[in-house]
Structure 1
Amino acid sequence: MRVAIIGAGPSGMAQMRAFEAASRAGEEIPEFVCFEKQSDWGGQWNYTWRTGLDEHGEPVHSSMYRNLWSNGPKEVLEFADYTFDEHFGRPISSYPPRPVLWDYISGRVEKSGVRQHVRFSTVVRWVDYDDAAEQFTVTSEDLPSGTTTSETFDRVIVGVGHFSFPRMPDFDGIETFPGRVMHAHDFRGAEDLAGRDLLVIGSSYSAEDIGSQAHKMGARSVTASYRTAPMGYEWPDGFEEKPLVLRFEGSTAHFADGTSREFDAVVMCTGYLHKYPFLPDDLALDSPNNVYPAGLYKGVVWQRNPHLFYLGAQDQWLTFNMFDAQAWFVRDLILGKIEMPPAEERQADIDTWLARFEAIETVADEVRFQVEYTGELIEATDYPMFDLEEVIEIFLAWKRDKKDDIMGYRDRTYRSVMTGTIAATHHTRWVDELDDSIARYLAPVPTDAVGAGAPRAPR
């Protein structure tokens, strides 16, 4: 058997780790090949300064920006088989910056020795399925050489994520706006917004985080425009929320409440599309961004062709450890350790989960839904189980912390679900820390860390 894994981001890395773990346990595993368009693994966490097109003329995959720090506690995404303590050799804070998280996820698979299975700088151009042969033909291109290759595989695992193709709305008159207009996908840093007036359009995590970054980096003002409801945090002076923009006239934005303001820059924080240009429509998932996309048995098996799998296709509360749970489950389906039910049983299971999804009323319901879904996958495999109820409690505490102090919640600390370790307090408050490098983050207390302040009690 041959297995193709498309994408070497956190989902594809999880799948390779799952196969490697089975091999290390003495099990016979299939030959697998991972295709990765970028020159290194990490997916979204593989930061690039490039926007638009990459060095090969391909659409840039990563939406990562330079100043990003985790916007959720690391304790809810920690790998059960490779802890932060193991990787760094000591406790670190609950909200690491981008380079630290990349080092963590990269370190796990580097230690596993699976890099040999990845074809970097190789983009999958097309996937066909032959019903009679029950095989896929995967056509890929080695980008540096331009060489195109077609190969057959028995299973295909799609792990490219769904945060690379921006959803870009239109507004009357926006073509007259003289400043820069971009989607969050192309945002790379907030330093050039110092002393400027920024409009972010959206009211979810990108708007919250990019707006906060801009404020931290010295923007004169930040305005967040919402379509349905405001984020509702107690923003600092110079940060406000407005209802949806109706139109632009030059640098002036007119809002639905009848007010208007002038801006220097606009960032569209308006979400992403499920888009798989390498798949025909009978294999391509087409779904809104939600926690249980229709058409996937156990959230991973393409119902119309159970030889095709998706990882990380859901909107996400859990991330890395949910991808692990999915990858271990997919691995065991492929190895035959878990029996693939007939189509009718799979559909009945999909319908049950969709009914539960439709019944979600609150954020707490949605968190519990995804944590329980992840737990069901873990129980079916040998992936290490962890305290799922504690994960839920951390998520809910995190939501409360953000309501309490939107600009200071990253200074809170939590207890590891995996090891019981209390996170360290970072030497500098997030709002004062302008150096996101891993060297600065892991350094002993610098002499300039005067703004550390008193941390809240650990949870």
Structure 2
Amino acid sequence: MNSVKRVAIIGAGPSGMAALRAFKSAEKSGSEIPEVVCYEKQDDWGGQWNFTWRTGTDGYGEPVHSSMYRNLWSNGPKEALEFAEYTFDEHFNRPISSYPPREVLWDYINGRAVQSGVKELVRFAHVVRRVEFDDETEQFTVTVDDLREHVTSTEVFDEVIVSTGHFSFPNVPDIAGIETFPGEVIHAHEFRGAERFAGQRLLLVGGSYSAEDIGIQSHKMGARHVTMSYRSRPQGFAWPDGVDERPQIDRIDGGVATFIDGSSGEFDAIILCTGYLHHYPFLPEHLHLRSPNNLYPGGLYRGVTWQANPHLHYLGAQDQWFTFNMFDAQAWYVRDLILGRAQLPSADERAAHMRQWADRYRGVEDDAAAVRFQADYIRDLIEQTDYPMFDLDEVVRIFLEWKADKKRNILTYRDQVYPSVMTGTMAAVHHTRWIDELDDSRERYLESQPTADRVTS
């Protein structure tokens, strides 16, 4: 019988890549690590950052995972997500701006993973269909379909790490009369570019980051008018001419939307920016996380380990201010639990710890408190491991400055620059203002002196 512990990682997006890197880091430091197998249903890693033009179903007939769109640029400073042990300086060998486009961020996370030599651990085009736990053997049976070879197999694992993210299964609300709307209705998950809405009157349902970003992207790409409909409160930015906010939709009659304040407008297309659901179709109910999108999901010890079965772990299940470096902190801690470097407390002690953090989370009243809460959460994880500690208070300061920049001007905040928390390097001012830059390719971005015929005005 094989006595080597086996670990299944489900998903090779940024969280799964962090888990792979964590195990490889331990191995390089001389530790014996388990046999690790990572299943990824896409043909390459990167998760959301692995852009596809497809919507609905992919080339294998599976639900498309990525919600990434072509002309997305980071909507938060890269200095807030930088890896503590693989910096932007190391990857690009030069300063770059604080708000890179998607191709550049994918290049960064791909570069670290390639440097780690972990791609051989990933089985691409493999979709996990079922995870079952045997209480007697305390092991998981994982059923997987190889989408290329059309083969179904089962394997046994001692630990399972779920790193599939939670921005892939759209939350689609009912809106009275929406079936009468003659134009296009899509969810933000299916949005692939704003150029198609040039000249159109666009209604975005939702008042958070996806509505804000898609709305401003559409304005940039020539939409005739953009209206965002909020449920609880307006975003409150100083919107440019051609962009506005309205309260919740009361009803839709043909091409006309009427809002609860009695105002109305005529629209050509509707985009539902209404969020996503925690949905893990491969997990049975007793292992399935059910949570709203918040900073401290219930049922997870230290935000990662399933209280009812501590052999199951979730990475990246939280709402996110921090992203890549938070996934690292989580991955390093889960790795150390699996390696026995960190001791798992009793169920009662875990429950008490969870109550303490949940009570604290209930006291979070605004964005500043939310950022500090997540920074303290990450600090608590890093203190348990050998992941390099970094100045989390400085990251909080950058986040709050970012929020202030957006309030000052929603069209120019991506032109601002910040210093790296890891190296101190000041970001470079990008060669073209974001509002004028219509080419988001890596090659264009990394040009130091754009050629005259490619500079927009």
TM interval, shorter chain, is over 0.9
Please state if 1:185 is matched with 2:201: no
Match of 1:195 in 2: 199
Q: How does 1:426-437 map to 2 (within 5 A)?
A: 426-437=430-441
Distance 1:357 1:389 in 2: 18
Partner Cα distance (1:447, 1:58) in 2: 42
Matches within 5 A, 1:127-276: 127-276=131-280
1:76-110 deviations in Å (ceiling 9; x for gaps): 00000000000001000000000000000011001
Deviation at residue 445 of structure 1 after TM alignment:
1.9
**AA matched with 2:342:** I
Q: 2:300 and 2:223 mapped to 1: Cα distance?
A: 43
Deviations 1:346-373 (A, max 9, x none): 0000000000001111111100000000
Answering whether residue 402 of structure 2 is matched by residue 398 of structure 1, we say yes
| Separation (CA, whole Å) in 1 of partners of 2:381 and 2:258 | 48
On the 8 A contact 2:225/2:243 being kept in 1, the answer is yes
Q: What is the letter of the counterpart of residue 100 of structure 2?
A: P
Per the alignment, residue 129 of structure 2 pairs with 125
Deviation, structure 1 residue 2: 0.1
Does the aligned pair in 1 maintain the 2:375–2:392 contact within 8 Å?
Answer: yes
1:333 aligns with 2:337: yes
* Residue pair 2:438, 2:456 contacting (<8 A) in 1 also: no
% identity of equivalent residues: 67
Q: How far did residue 447 of structure 1 move?
A: 3.7
User: Residue type matched to 1:260 in 2?
Assistant: S
Match of 2:31 among 27, 30, 33: 27
- Measured in 1, the distance between the counterparts of 2:143 and 2:294 equals 30
Q: Which amino acid aligns with 1:254?
A: T
Structure-to-structure mapping, 1:344-359, within 5 angstroms: 344-359=348-363
Match of 2:389, SS? coil
Shift of 1:450: 6.2
Q: 1:79 aligns with which of 78, 83, 88?
A: 83
CA distance in 2, matches of 1:233, 1:320: 27
Query: Any conservation in 1 of the 2:12–2:122 contact (CA below 8 Å)?
Result: yes
Q: TM-score, normalised by structure 1?
A: 0.98
In 2, distance between residues paired with 1:294 and 1:375?
Answer: 20
- Is it true that 1:364 corresponds to 2:368 in the alignment? yes
1:450/1:148 Cα in 2 relative to 1: closer, same or farther (>3 Å)? closer
Residues of 1 paired with 2:451 and 2:71: CA distance? 22
2:71 is paired with a residue whose SS is coil
CA distance in 2, matches of 1:267, 1:321: 31
How far, CA to CA, are the matches of 1:141 and 1:234 in structure 2? 49
Which residue in the other structure is 2:294 paired with? Answer: 290
Equivalent residue letter for 2:445: Y
Contact 2:176/2:251 (<8 A) preserved: yes
**Distance in structure 1 (CA, Å) of the matches to 2:70 and 2:256:** 29
Deviations 1:124-147 (A, max 9, x none): 000000010010000000011220
**Which residue among 1, 13, 16 is the counterpart of 2:17?**
13
> So what's the TM-score if we normalise by structure 2?
0.98
Instruction: Give the conservation status (yes or no) of the 8 Å contact 1:309–1:330.
Output: yes
| Distance in structure 1 (CA, Å) of the matches to 2:115 and 2:455 | 37
Match of 1:456 in 2: none
Q: What is the distance in 2 between the residues matched to 1:387 and 1:258?
A: 49
Matched residues in 2 for 1:348 and 1:451: separation? 57
Q: What amino acid is aligned across from residue 282 of structure 2 in structure 1?
A: F
> Superposition pairs for residues 377-416 of structure 1, below 5 Å?
377-416=381-420
1:408-443 superposed Cα distances (whole Å, 9 cap, x missing partner):
100000000000000000000000000000000001
Shift of 1:212: 0.5
Query: How far apart are the structure 2 equivalents of 1:254 and 1:444?
Result: 48
Deviations 1:373-392 (A, max 9, x none): 00111111110011111011
Q: Counterparts of 1:160 and 1:440 in 2: how far apart (Å)?
A: 31
User: Per-residue deviation at 1:451?
Assistant: 7.0
Look up the match of 1:375. Answer: 379
Distance in 2 separating the partners of 1:171 and 1:109: 43
- Paired residue for 1:63? 67
- Residue type of the partner of 1:250? G
Structure 2: give runs of 5+ residues left out of the alignment: none
| 3-state SS in 2 of match to 1:328 | helix
Within the candidate set 425, 429, 433, 1:425 is matched to 429
Q: For 2:138 and 2:451, locate their aligned partners in 1 and report how far apart those are by CA, in whole Å.
A: 64
Q: CA deviation at 1:444?
A: 1.7
Within a 5 Å distance, the mapping from 1:84-123 to structure 2 comes to 84-123=88-127
Structure 1: any 5+ residue segments left out of the alignment?
453-459
Aligned positions, number: 452
**Mapped partners of 1:391, 1:148: distance in 2:** 45
Please tell me the residue identity of whatever aligns with 1:74: K
For 2:451 and 2:154, locate their aligned partners in 1 and report how far apart those are by CA, in whole Å. 57
Report the AA paired with residue 158 of structure 1: V
Written as runs of structure 1 = structure 2, the 5 A alignment for 1:435-446 is: 435-446=439-450
1:246 CA drift (Å) = 1.0
Q: Which of 37, 41, 46 in structure 2 is aligned with 1:42?
A: 46
Q: By how many angstroms is 1:171 displaced?
A: 1.0
Query: Distance between the aligned counterparts of 1:445 and 1:261, measured in 2?
Result: 44
CA distance in 2, matches of 1:29, 1:316: 29
Q: Name the amino acid aligned to 2:176.
A: D
Q: Distance in 2 between the 1:262 and 1:416 partners?
A: 46
Contact 2:226 2:242 in 1 (8 A): yes
Q: Provide the C-alpha distance between the structure 2 equivalents of 1:66 and 1:305, rounded to a whole number of angstroms.
A: 39
Q: 2: distance between equivalents of 1:180 and 1:60?
A: 19
Please tell me whether the aligned partners of residues 122 and 140 of structure 1 are also in contact (alpha carbons under 8 angstroms): yes
Q: In 2, distance between residues paired with 1:99 and 1:376?
A: 32
Determine if contact 1:429/1:451 at 8 Å carries over to the other structure. no
Q: Partners of 2:449 and 2:177 in 1: how far apart?
A: 50
Letter aligned with residue 28 of structure 1: E
